[in-house]
């Protein structure tokens, strides 16, 4: 028998979508800023050798989490939310993922010990640091499991705030060490890092009260369902890692170490900003599942038809304004030695816009369980990235801008692929005009081709002018859009102004 349908008013997450998005985005921005402070404080406390050991630990703990559980989180957001809407519990989905994760975590931990015993790991990475890394990996895995359950339950604001709180606690502890000089050692910083991760896990455990996750319940059918959904995402995750790495590898093969350092700084900044775009998927995957369970899947189609073009325009405008600013900011923030990182970073802002558009489309693919297609698309994008890197850097000698252009090309493939799959699943399509990219192009091109203050001024002016032109010439808004905004959980003053602006732009 089909599950009972709900009215739109009782769809979980529908009435809080703006607040959820704003809360998660704000928490991620805070985490980003605190992460930068963590790097600065750790560098001031430790010697370069000590900093390397902490970097090994963090990388090792993250790698353990990635291998053990990083590929299965989307399944809990998809099926956990479905289970919650049908029966007010996520026991089957949460424990199925735990059952998949636990043996992998044990194997990876044992492999780490074997690498140390056989002398593969660096000598300064002693057995003590190895065990601390394994503990850190365990707490990362457990914390990730708990955060995904919170996200699936619609408590993503709490989940994101907890992650920001962990980073704030780490910054506070490091600040005390830096100011007092007490315990000023690599081992102290290592223990603090592990301890803060353990506190996050404890805090998240307390936050799960009321979700009926106990006692453990292992459902083989749900375990199989989550496994089948998640396995293709291993290839997806590997392709994402490959796209992060191939630019550096090819650039070093044909360029200099200085080229690698300049581009690595630009790409690291790009990677940190990607975390903000992922906010969309965190909020929308559970919401879309609830809409389907409530028999309101036509709202997903309406989102695809009406809101995706709006999201593309907003992303394009923000990217067009950001690209000129980063060219000016790079030498000020990172020093004159990294001035040349401004151009590739401006190009990577265009890639960031494409990544944001892909994030708008990804929840539709996850709703329809298109993990295999997602992986194929991303593997194709990786192949293009590799070929483009070799041609641009090795043949055309474009230097540090070549890998950034290759990354843009790879993300164009991802966006186009996601659009095709989403259109097929929903049986409808948005009207996506190439003119929506004009503000982005008008901001990025002067910043890259002219550079300096003149290029930044031209880029800012061009992005603003292109935005006005697009709003004037394209019929992007309708009275229905105004009615939709009027029902969102916005502050009354903001909502009324937004409704008036949309109605002025509407051409119905």
Angle CA(296)–CA(297)–CA(303) in degrees, nearest 5? 110
Confidence of residue 38 (pLDDT cuts 50, 70, 90): confident
Mean pLDDT on 277-299: 90
Give 55-59's long-range contacts (Cβ < 8 A, gap of 24+).
Answer: 56/121, 56/122, 56/125, 56/129, 56/133, 57/129, 57/132, 57/133, 57/136, 57/190, 57/193, 58/136, 58/193
For residue 354, give every residue at least 6 positions away whose Cβ sits within 8 Å of its Cβ, in sequence order, or none.
408, 411, 412, 414, 415
Confidence of residue 372 (pLDDT cuts 50, 70, 90): very high
Angle CA(207)–CA(144)–CA(351) in degrees, nearest 5? 120
The answer to whether the CB of 325 falls within 8 A of the CB of 250 is no
Q: Is 296 helix (H, G, I), strand (E, B) or coil?
A: coil
Tell me the whole-structure pTM to 2 decimals: 0.88
Per-residue pLDDT, 473: 85
- Considering only 42-51, 394-403, 443-452, which range has the smallest mean pLDDT? 42-51
For the cut 50, the answer to whether the pLDDT of residue 12 exceeds it is yes
Mean pLDDT on 121-142: 91
Per-residue pLDDT, 106: 96
Highest mean pLDDT among 36-40, 218-222, 299-303, 419-423: 419-423
The answer to whether the CB of 174 falls within 8 A of the CB of 41 is yes
For the cut 50, the answer to whether the pLDDT of residue 2 exceeds it is no
The residue written with tokens 């640091």 in the block is: 129
Confidence of residue 3 (pLDDT cuts 50, 70, 90): very low
Per-residue pLDDT, 494: 73
For residue 494, give every residue at least 6 positions away whose Cβ sits within 8 Å of its Cβ, in sequence order, or none.
none
* Dihedral angle sign, alpha carbons of residues 297, 299, 305, 307: negative
For the cut 60, the answer to whether the pLDDT of residue 263 exceeds it is yes
Per-residue pLDDT, 97: 95
* Dihedral angle sign, alpha carbons of residues 30, 31, 33, 38: positive
- Considering only 28-37, 155-164, 178-187, 250-259, which range has the smallest mean pLDDT? 178-187
- Considering only 385-389, 409-413, 441-445, 501-505, which range has the smallest mean pLDDT? 501-505
For residue 99, give every residue at least 6 positions away whose Cβ sits within 8 Å of its Cβ, in sequence order, or none.
218, 223
Q: What tokens does 305 get?
A: 């038809």
Per-residue pLDDT, 11: 82
So where are the chain's domains?
Answer: 1-218, 233-475, 477-508
Distance CA 248, CA 403 (A): 8
Confidence of residue 4 (pLDDT cuts 50, 70, 90): very low
State CA 398 to chain mean position distance: 29
Per-residue pLDDT, 440: 97
For the cut 60, the answer to whether the pLDDT of residue 419 exceeds it is yes
The residue written with tokens 């102290």 in the block is: 188
Query: pLDDT over 70 for what percent of the chain?
Result: 96
For residue 226, give every residue at least 6 positions away whose Cβ sits within 8 Å of its Cβ, in sequence order, or none.
72, 75, 76, 79, 93, 96, 97, 100
Mean pLDDT on 200-222: 88
Q: What tokens does 462 get?
A: 């061009």
- Considering only 177-191, 304-318, 483-497, which range has the smallest mean pLDDT? 483-497
Per-residue pLDDT, 1: 34
CB neighbour class for 427 (10 Å; exposed up to 12, middle 13-18, buried from 19): exposed
Per-residue pLDDT, 318: 96
Considering the chain, what is the average pLDDT of its residues?
88
Angle CA(275)–CA(77)–CA(24) in degrees, nearest 5? 35
For the cut 50, the answer to whether the pLDDT of residue 9 exceeds it is no
Distance CA 430, CA 305 (A): 4
């Amino acid at each position: 028998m089909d599950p009972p349908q709900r009215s739109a008013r009782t769809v979980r997450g529908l009435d809080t979508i703006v607040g959820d998005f704003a809360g998660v985005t704000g928490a991620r921005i805070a985490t980003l800023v605190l992460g930068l402070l963590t790097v600065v404080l750790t560098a001031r406390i430790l010697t370069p050798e000590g900093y390397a050991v902490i970097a090994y630990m963090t990388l090792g703990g993250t790698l353990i989490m990635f291998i053990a559980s990083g590929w299965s989180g989307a399944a809990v957001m998809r099926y956990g939310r479905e289970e919650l809407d049908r029966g007010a519990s996520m026991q089957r989905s949460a424990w199925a993922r735990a059952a998949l994760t636990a043996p992998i975590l044990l194997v990876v931990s044992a492999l780490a010990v074997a690498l140390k015993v056989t002398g593969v790991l660096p000598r300064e990475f002693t057995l003590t640091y190895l065990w601390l890394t394994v503990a850190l990996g365990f707490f990362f895995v457990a914390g990730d499991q708990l955060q995904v359950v919170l996200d699936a339950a619609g408590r993503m604001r709490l989940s994101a705030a907890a992650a920001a709180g962990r980073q704030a606690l780490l910054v506070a502890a490091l600040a005390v060490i830096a100011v007092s000089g007490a315990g000023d050692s690599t081992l102290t910083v290592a223990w603090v890092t592990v301890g803060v991760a353990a506190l996050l896990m404890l805090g998240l455990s307390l936050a799960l009260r009321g979700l009926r996750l106990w006692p453990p319940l292992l459902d083989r059918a749900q375990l199989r369902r989550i496994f089948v959904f998640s396995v293709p995402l291993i290839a997806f995750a590997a392709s994402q890692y490959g796209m992060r790495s191939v630019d550096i590898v090819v650039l070093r093969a044909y360029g200099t170490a200085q080229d690698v350092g300049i581009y690595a700084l630009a790409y690291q900044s790009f990677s940190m900003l990607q975390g903000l775009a992922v906010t969309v998927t965190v909020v929308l995957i559970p919401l879309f599942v609830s809409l389907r369970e409530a028999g309101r899947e036509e709202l997903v189609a309406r989102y695809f038809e009406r809101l995706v073009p709006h999201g593309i325009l907003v992303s394009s405008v923000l990217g067009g304004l950001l690209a000129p600013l980063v060219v000016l900011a790079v030498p000020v923030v990172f020093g004159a030695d990294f001035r040349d990182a401004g151009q590739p970073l401006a190009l990577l802002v265009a890639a960031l816009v494409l990544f944001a558009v892909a994030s708008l489309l990804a929840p539709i693919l996850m709703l329809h369980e298109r993990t295999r297609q997602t992986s194929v698309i991303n593997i194709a994008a990786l192949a293009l990235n590799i070929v483009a890197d070799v041609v641009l850097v090795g043949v055309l000698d474009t230097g540090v801008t070549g890998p950034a252009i290759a990354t843009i090309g790879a993300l164009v493939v991802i966006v186009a692929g996601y659009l095709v799959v989403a259109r097929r699943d929903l049986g409808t399509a948005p009207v996506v005009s190439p003119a929506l990219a004009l503000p982005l192009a008008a901001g990025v091109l002067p910043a890259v081709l002219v550079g300096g203050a003149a290029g930044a001024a031209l880029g800012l002016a061009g992005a603003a002018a292109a935005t006005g032109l697009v709003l004037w010439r394209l019929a992007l808004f309708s009275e229905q859009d105004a009615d939709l905004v009027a029902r969102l959980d916005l502050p009354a003053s903001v909502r009324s102004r937004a409704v008036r602006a949309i109605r002025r732009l509407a051409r119905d």
